[in-house]
Amino acid sequence: MAHINDHYLKLKAGYLFPEIARRVREFSTANPAAKIIRLGIGDVTRPLPAACITAGKAAFDELGEGKSFRGYGPEQGYDFLREAIAEHDFKSRGVAIDASEIVVSDGSKCDTGNIQEIFGADCLIAVPDPVYPVYVDTNVMAGRTGQADVSGRYAGLVYLNSTAESGFLPAFPKRRVDLVYLCFPNNPTGCVASRAVLTSWVEWATRNGAIILFDAAYEAFISDPTIPHSIFEIPGARECAIEFRSYSKTAGFTGTRCAYTVVPKTLRGFDAVGSPVDILPLWLRRQTTKFNGVSYPIQRAAEACYSEAGKTQIKDLVQYYMGNAKIIRDGLAKMGIEIHGGVNAPYIWLKTPGNLSSWEFFDHLLTKANVVGTPGAGFGACGEGYFRLSAFGETDQVREAVERISKLGL
């Protein structure tokens, strides 16, 4: 008899987004005439940048010729992409990250989910609340938690409340923890961390010997020039942080998949007897064992994001989505709804009107306006009473959604 991993049985029924999709499917089966507008999952709707398409097609052509054919690539990514990343995402902002500290992957969801494997089962983990559910669920699967309580919080995890009072910035842990997940610009609240806030986190991690797992998947949406794009812009972060970046939202790669993780050579953990151990070789060991790399054409397409044409096209994409964010913000503000985010991030976090619970509001919007959003409670107990709208839709659909919501007379 094969004994399953019992920790999976602790997980709440479904991962948030498939659960939303299930409810929407059920509604549209019962109401086939309903024209549903989806502003739930943060999935992009605009085509890939032309520069990426050209580069990807050329790479496929290379694979069609005997003399330029390639099989397996390096598991950690081709040098051409790692070097372009080091140059354009870091050096250009005055941040010293070497290409050898960059590990290319097929997504930040995978990387933020897998990174916990290289740390001890006894590590104490802190997560903001609300939070991207992947950070929590993967630690549950790994057995670092007990059961969830009625609010969905797992025993053994340290939750850092992020509330309106704190501008949705997570509170610092009140007890010792080993690893803390941070995400800025934040999914789901759309809030950002100033240089001062990030500096306090780096100082806290340095003082406490903790490691920050910094998810920067939405950095391209920062418009305020004072907000850091990378934790490595903060002195001392090379000794206490890992950063995750993605082409998914920036360049429309949610379907094509490409991302990367930065593990500085100066980052160390400790073995059982307290001797320091470099983290980068552990992550490389994990990736080279379990992952065979992103396909060559997709890495060439990602590299094209850094060409002059690619940079312009990406800027246009970001502006398009942030134009949507403004439509949502302005529309909701006119309705008197309390809104957060949507300025340096593609998510708008709103207080549900009339004290509806997050899921009640979800049902109300779905059934009365045929608009899909994401219930804040799905991101954690502190998300209850909030709701997330994504700016990644098409503009005419976003306008229509706002108009429909305004007609509800909330």
Q: Which residues of 210-237 are buried (b: 16+ CB within 10 A; e: fewer)?
A: bbbbbbbbbbbbbeeeebbbbbbbbeeb
Are the C-beta atoms of residues 398 and 328 closer than 8 Å to each other? yes
Shortest distance (Å) from residue 270 CB to ligand MLT: 31
Shortest distance (Å) from residue 196 CB to ligand MLT: 27
**At residue 166, what are phi and psi to the nearest 5 degrees?**
-100, 15
Name which of 41 and 164 has its Cβ closer to ligand MLT.
Answer: 41
Pairing of strands 179-183, 125-129: parallel
Shortest distance (Å) from residue 317 CB to ligand MLT: 16
Name which of 41 and 309 has its Cβ closer to ligand MLT.
Answer: 41
**At residue 222, what are phi and psi to the nearest 5 degrees?**
-75, 125
Name which of 280 and 317 has its Cβ closer to ligand MLT.
Answer: 317
Q: What distance in Å separates the CA atoms of residue 376 and residue 125, rounded to the nearest whole number?
A: 22
Name which of 279 and 345 has its Cβ closer to ligand MLT.
Answer: 345
Q: What distance in Å separates the CA atoms of residue 264 and residue 96, rounded to the nearest whole number?
A: 10
Please state, in angstroms and as integers, the Cα–Cα distance from residue 133 to each residue in 43, 74, 193, following that order. 16, 30, 20
Name which of 77 and 130 has its Cβ closer to ligand MLT.
Answer: 130
Shortest distance (Å) from residue 137 CB to ligand MLT: 12
Q: Which of 222, 189, 221, 191 is nearest to 349 (CA)?
A: 189
Shortest distance (Å) from residue 326 CB to ligand MLT: 19
Pairing of strands 347-351, 339-341: antiparallel
Name which of 43 and 83 has its Cβ closer to ligand MLT.
Answer: 43
Q: Which of 191, 189, 244, 234 is nearest to 213 (CA)?
A: 244
Shortest distance (Å) from residue 250 CB to ligand MLT: 12
Shortest distance (Å) from residue 238 CB to ligand MLT: 26
Q: Give the other-Cβ count within 10 Å of 175's Cβ.
A: 8
Alpha helix ranges (H) inside 171-279: 195-208, 248-251
Cα 188 from chain centre:
9
Shortest distance (Å) from residue 109 CB to ligand MLT: 4
Binding stretches for ligand MLT (CB under 6 A): 41-43, 109, 187
Name which of 82 and 388 has its Cβ closer to ligand MLT.
Answer: 388
Name which of 42 and 393 has its Cβ closer to ligand MLT.
Answer: 42
**At how many degrees (to 10) do helices 50-63 and 296-303 cross?**
150
Q: Which of 242, 236, 238 is nearest to 183 (CA)?
A: 242
Name which of 109 and 364 has its Cβ closer to ligand MLT.
Answer: 109
**DSSP helix/strand/coil, 308:** helix
Shortest distance (Å) from residue 37 CB to ligand MLT: 15
Q: Which residues neighbour 164 within 8 Å (Cβ) at sequence distance 6 or greater?
A: 338, 340, 351
By beta carbon distance, the residue nearest ligand MLT is 42
Q: What distance in Å separates the CA atoms of residue 329 and residue 391, rounded to the nearest whole number?
A: 10
